[in-house]
Chains A and B, each alone.
Chain A
Amino acid sequence: MAGAGSFRREMLEAQAPPAARTGRLRWLQENLFSSWPSALLTLLSLAAILWLVAHVWPWFAHSVWDAGSLTECRAIIRETWGEGASGACFAVIRERWQQFLFGFYPRELYWRPTLAFVLMFVALAPILFAELPRRLRWFAVAFPGIAYWLLWGGPASVPLAVYAGFAIAWLVHRAVAARSSELVALVVAVAAMILWWLHLAGPVARALPILELQPVGSSRFGGFTLSLVIGVTGIAFSLPLGILLALGRRSQMFFVTTMCVGFIEFIRGVPLITLLLVASFLLNIFLPPGTNFDIILRVIIMVTLFASAYMAEVIRGGLAALPRGQYEAADALGLDYWKATRLIIMPQALKISIPGIVNTFIGLFKDTTLVAIIGLLDPIGLTTAIRADTNWNGIVWELYGFVALLFFLCCYGMSQYSQYLERKLRTGQR
């Protein structure tokens, strides 16, 4: 052992790592060239990307935005860029983009679907982002009526009469619940609401035609407006229906469970397209003679039922994942079934099933394109119609690329939101 002077009293400054171990070089070595196979894969991928860019870039660079037909497009490309040059013909999008967005909605009324679309975000904001004031949620409640009135037109008293049904149900429920049991009050309230809708709402709405807008028939709906109308309505109704079905499937009551299981398994066992065929061919046979209601409404009903069965299974997964202690604790607090469900069970079960719920939403939105098969002109139906037009016969990439981009933006946006929500609601149990 040496004396006290032989060891250092201060720490040495850390030396900089060697150049090959830092910065970009190190990153390249670790992530792209860590081994021979990896290096080979990197080179192959780079070659593939280069090949793709080399083919796609000229196509974009030579694009034509102003032409009346595909032949005209090709002539312009030949003139400007020489024989054999490839180029995109985005003129078709320029000519038809209004149709893609609004279908055959009257041109001078485009402001109505646009306004409804903007208001949709105002209505969604307080639901999507909890930081906003809760009072805004009343607007979300009113939005379906406003949207219906804006899109289909007619007097504002029609949606108002529908809302009046809910108000009546609430009043009746309060009046009866004061005198009798909760269950009786519920039954009477629902009966009163249905009575109002079936027999009184129509005459009352006709008697008071206020704020009348020019009516627009369902046959003029198309394009992305149609997809959004079906998709958003389906999403809005399939969640509550799915919750009810999931609760029914897990209930102790034999008949209720059987009915829910039967419904869910039936719907999940058949393709959506068969249900849409039922909507377009058979629904009139099942209903009283002479009933004939709107094809869009029929489609919305079927899409909603379809999505609600999948939603029920997702939520059932969430319910099953909740620890048994939560149910018992709710019982021990003396909460009745609905209070326990609303305050203790559902908030946790829904949080667990967010990814599944959003996936179902995305699936539903993509499935709205199936209406093209029963002859509605959604974006895909429109592409088929445009390709059948002699002017645009033979156009492929531009049309499908445009529609695919629109759907991609919506669906990718939804999945990003669900990831944000998951991160936000994670309470650190894991």
Chain B
Amino acid sequence: MRNILVVEDSPTMRQLISFAIKRVPNSHVIEATDGVDALKKLSSEKIDLILADINMPVMDGLKLVSLVRGNPSYKDIPIIIVTTEGAEEDRKRAIAIGANAYLPKPIQTQELIKLVNGFL
């Protein structure tokens, strides 16, 4: 079973992403409401992929990406950013920090599943 950590402050988006991920075979969704919550989950669970929003309270998605990349235990976990920030410079910044893929909202479920499958 592959664990996918969905880091999103919006319950609507968390539920929607979890719904979509259920269609990826052998996958299990673990939810986190912000970057700090995500780091807690990372320390307690074996995570295979992270899906993170950028705009979140407490700790945003970009900070989370840089912390994950700086930690030798998690640095190889693929990270997909799912955000409302659709500008090219936002995408470049996230990729430069260490995100593997960038998916602007509103998400197309098929596209999300394809991306997730590509990293698992």
Q: Tell me if chain B binds chain A.
A: no
